[in-house]
Chains A and B, each alone.
Chain A
């Protein structure tokens, strides 16, 4: 599956300044792995070393936060948009 990935500003420098790139995969986890293969500077910034979603980012398939779906196992279809945005929280 080819999907469009929308990048947050903080990751764009690793993709030559692009706000949107394309990546391949059948699940969100595969798409993010493909993204990191293409743009190694993003390694560790979206998915942690233990294979879970980094708590400082939100990842969506179209309008839905994957944390409310099947996390990294959430399936994607051709033409879906995967958006990565910062998780916004503090004290």
Chain B
């Protein structure tokens, strides 16, 4: 289960829409034990592509340090799929760095954004529920 405060959910979707026509991406800080996200770190897509995304290494370090200073950890990443379903692509699975992370994908293919979250362990992809906390 991934828990997103409503403000973070809105920030993720807005960043993804703002990144069009390219994919957009960012990191999620929170509590690894509960899967509760407390902070969103939107980043530029260093790949500047509609088919790929890369979070610049300096942005990864910056987000990691900020999260640590707040007593959190980076617990996941989000990115958009501009023309495909909200499901991890073979590239997403091959490059998933951490089996404990939450992989959030926002599909912008249809008129309404679709937000889904996955755990990726090796080749295995498991969807998990996304709870949006209205606070």
Residues of A within 8 A of B (CB): 8-10, 56-58, 60, 63, 65, 67, 83, 85-91
Contact = CB atoms under 8 A, between A and B. Distances in A.
B38 interface: no
B92 A90 contact: yes
Contacts of A89: 47, 52-55, 95
Interface in B50-66: 51-55, 57-58, 60-61, 64
Given A10-B100, A56-B97, A88 B55 contact: yes
Contacts of A86: 60, 97-98
B5 interface: no
Interface of B: 25, 27, 32, 47, 51-55, 57-58, 60-61, 64, 73, 77, 79, 88-92, 95-100
A91 B53 contact: yes
A39 B96 CA distance: 23
A90 B60 contact: no
Contacts of B58: 63, 65
Nearest to B84: A91
B61 A60 contact: yes
A39 to B, nearest CB: 17
21 contacts: A9-B32, A9-B98, A9-B100, A56-B97, A57-B97, A58-B60, A60-B57, A65-B58, A83-B61, A83-B64, A85-B57, A87-B95, A88-B27, A88-B54, A88-B97, A89-B47, A89-B54, A90-B89, A90-B95, A91-B53, A91-B89
A88 B64 CA distance: 12
A60 B62 CA distance: 12
A74 to B, nearest CB: 14
Contacts of A56: 95, 97
A91 B52 contact: yes
A10 B96 contact: no
